[in-house]
Amino acid sequence: MRGIIKSSAYLPYYRLNRTEITEFFGNGRASGARSVAAHDEDTVTMGFEAARVIVSSDSKMEPEALWFTTSEPPYLEKTNANVIHSALQLSNTTSAYDFNGALKSGVGALKTALNSNQTVLLVQADIRGGLPSSADESQGGDAAVAFLIGDGNDEQLIATYLGGSSVTLEFIDRWRNPAEKVVKQWESRFVEDTYSSLIKEAWNEALNNASLNESDLNVIIYAGQNERVKRQAPKVISVEQYHDTVPMDVGNPGAAEAGLLLISAIENANVGEKIALCSFNDGIELLIFEVTGHQKALNSIKDQIENRSEVSYSKFLQWREMLTVQPPNRPSPSRISASASKRESDWKHGFVASRGDQSGLIHMPPSRLSIKEEDTSDGMVTESMASSIGTVATFTVDHLVYSKNPPVVFAVVDFDGGGRIPIEITDVAKNEVKIGMRVEPTFRKLFTADGIHNYFWKVRPLRSVGV
């Protein structure tokens, strides 16, 4: 059988209350909140955060391929999946590919992985926005999901793929010039009429391909950008619509929406229930799953929704580069060296330090030679610090150094089991930092110069329950 072996979701720590938008403009009605990627996050770093949970949950897990999909890739021409591949420290024989640019690429990559004969680590992420006061801005959301897809039995799979269908039609719905950030869209009523006829055609074909009747399905998920279509689709398909708090508490994360809703539905389903996923983006994709096992929550969506901090609308506009503010006095950094980045990739992307073979002393950054005399010359061994927990020994707040979100909080962190490093703290206000605070590493973007993104590691407060 083919299906989903493991799944994971990542929600950024920050939320923007939609009422802040309506209050700023003095009109409109809104409720709930949307998730907001921080100033040092992009679709690659969020995708890594979702994928690392799957990889770290099984040290023997090595996918044959890593696929990354988003409508907002940090790079064009350069493969974004390579960065995630390196940060996960996957084998160089594991292939890495992008499925990028279109909203449909998310569900398209999912279906392609389900029909593949490889064990695929599929990563989906998106950062959504629009012009201030637009529906895209308030109803969008930022999130990432990851699926390990392959072959297995009922005990190995959390959801078995039963079949599906595709209906493709070229028409104008939503579009964006590659040089622009803002999406344009056609009149909603025309789009609704077009999708309604396609959904019925795709639904009948999917049931036939899966050898099922409509009454065999327990719930159906609708994923897409057009809210009118979501309201009309239940009139075409007589299956109970799956409802949860993701649209209200997170928003619509574009290419990752279908995956996020699917994970939420599987988390809340009983064994044996059948779930249909209907995605309408430039056509219809229908996928039908049967829940075959109880998924151990790798990182519960509900817990992440509750673990949050509010961000102001002005800060949101600043992070999205919709509002230009006075930068710190020191100049912005120069682009990084390609040769140095390649040479130090294990440290830069994987946060891999070195450890003395006799003393056990951890060196951060890694060193070829140990400072301890008892260690063998050139005998250092590698030590991954990506999952280590540390404690803030001391810290300082810097108002002058370059940052898209000044001031910058630097700390000296002592890691459990050894290792000390001066490092930036993120996802925290300066008045929340304390000596003795427990922190964990997170993969982030330091800056962008000459179109090159400088990825490295920071630490964030450890907010797990019971810590």
Tokens encoding 68? 């990354």
Blockwise average pLDDT, block size 10, the chain, 467 residues: 95 97 89 96 98 85 94 96 97 95 95 96 96 94 97 90 95 87 84 89 95 96 93 92 93 97 94 96 95 75 93 96 86 92 95 96 95 92 96 96 92 97 96 97 96 97 63
Q: 273 near 163, Cβ under 8 Å?
A: no
Whether residue 390 sits in one domain with residue 375? no
- Residue-level pLDDT at 10: 97
- Residue at 66 is within a domain: yes
CATH number for the domain including 58?
3.40.47.10
- Residue-level pLDDT at 296: 61
Cβ neighbours of residue 123 closer than 8 Å, sequence gap 6 or more:
47, 48, 50, 51, 66, 67, 68, 69, 81, 84, 144, 145, 146
Provide the edge-to-edge strand list for the sheet that holds 274-280: 95-100, 65-70, 120-126, 143-151, 2-10, 159-167, 284-291, 274-280, 219-223
Q: Point out the domain boundary residue: 302, 319, 336.
A: 319
- Residue-level pLDDT at 233: 92
First to last CA, the chain: 39
| Predicted TM-score (pTM) of this structure | 0.95
Tokens encoding 215? 């009454």
Give dist(CA 275, CA 70) in Å, integer: 24
Q: Which of 43, 36, 15, 163 is nearest to 105 (CA)?
A: 43
Whether residue 185 sits in one domain with residue 38? yes
- Residue-level pLDDT at 465: 40
- Residue at 111 is within a domain: yes
Whether residue 374 sits in one domain with residue 407? no
Query: DSSP label at 448?
Result: E
- Structural domain including 446 reads 386-467
- Residue-level pLDDT at 297: 58
- Residue-level pLDDT at 59: 65
Whether residue 164 sits in one domain with residue 36? yes
Whether residue 416 sits in one domain with residue 293? no
Whether residue 295 sits in one domain with residue 147? yes
Cβ neighbours of residue 249 closer than 8 Å, sequence gap 6 or more:
15, 32, 33, 35, 305
Residue 105 CA, chain-centre distance (Å), reads 15
Helix (H) or strand (E) holding 179, with range, is none
- Residue at 339 is within a domain: no
- Residue-level pLDDT at 162: 97
